[in-house]
Amino acid sequence: MYIQGDPTEDFFEQNPEVKVLPSFQTLIKKESKKVASKLAWAIYLYIDPKSPFFEMLENEREELVQQYLGDSIDFDQEKYAYLIAAYENNVLERQERLYQIWSNKAEELTMYLNDLDIGDKNVKGAIDLFTKMDVIWEKLDKIKERFEQSKKKRNKPEMRGGLETGGLSDLRQSN
């Protein structure tokens, strides 16, 4: 599903297909229209790889989302776990979900390394992990590349006969 629109406007008016999902129907019934919309945007901003903020560290995204929501709405991930799961499982496409998972796990490993006290007994394990991180980052780059390719395909209008958009204008200009 492709989420679009302006986070200062109603999420569900701009993305009405999401209202079909039972978890979001529950949200809309439980909360005011404005709160439901802001929470839906918060989830998009927080977990969707298409969000302009996805490349930020998770704790930074969480802070940004809380600032977006303001003081009146608490972005309690446990309370809204059912919405986050519904979004991940029903809104994100396969390549987006795969990239999201790998990106989150790579960040967890990086944070683990950051917190690791490299004492005598941890040196070998730390060196092994550093060695394996190269492979993990290469794999993550490949997954990101596939994600970017699927994003380009989805945003590109398809034309009959495999023509590229702008093809006729290019032909006219060359004649």
Q: What is the pLDDT along the chain (175 residues), one digit of tens a residue?
A: 788 899 999 999 999 999 999 999 999 999 999 999 999 999 999 999 999 998 888 889 999 999 999 998 999 989 999 999 999 999 988 888 887 887 778 788 877 877 777 766 677 777 777 777 777 777 777 877 877 777 666 654 443 344 344 443 343 344 4
The first and second tokens of residue 133, run together, are 């991180």
The 10 Å Cβ neighbour count of residue 95 is 20
DSSP state of 162: G
Residue 100 exposure: Cα atoms within 13 Å on the Cβ side: 22
Among 64, 30, 35, CA closest to 12: 35
Q: What are the two backbone dihedrals, phi and then psi, of residue 9, each rounded to the nearest 5 degrees? A: -110, 170
Q: CA 39 from chain center: how many Å?
A: 15
